[in-house]
Amino acid sequence: MTRVSVLTLCMARATAAAGDSTTAWAVFKQTHRASRVAAFIAMWAVAIRDLGPDASHAAIQRDLNESRSTFYRRLVDFRELFPEHDDPTPLALLVLDAAGSAVPSAHTLVAA
């Protein structure tokens, strides 16, 4: 099985969603969007490592210390690139599996 980075996967999805637009501005927007979604998936992985994969969206939002509106805006961005998933849990589990014990807990990140 080939390993693909989360950012590469998000870039491919953002590029596909943008269609044929190849202007510099369109490429910038695609890159920015892909990086936001990749960061959200990574943050989600840290949260479900702490809370478990069955945690509610509200619990994950609190664990990430994000406002409700920001959390749901990020979730909408994610769903636009990955419409087959309700949330990043399946991808976050792949990240955790690939990273093993290298993923710190959210509490460790805050203390650093």
Give 24-82 pLDDT, tens digit per residue: 777 788 888 899 999 999 999 999 999 999 999 999 999 999 999 999 999 999 999 99
Q: What is the pLDDT of residues 1-14, one digit of tens each?
A: 456 688 888 888 88
User: Token digits for 13?
Assistant: 């999805």
The residue-averaged pLDDT of 90-98 equals: 89
Provide the pLDDT for residue 101. Answer: 58
CA distance 15 to 12: 5
The encoded tokens of residue 85 equal 């998933």
Query: What global pTM score does this model have?
Result: 0.80
Q: Where are the beta strands (DSSP E) in the chain?
A: none
Q: How far apart are CA 57 and CA 54, in angstroms?
A: 9
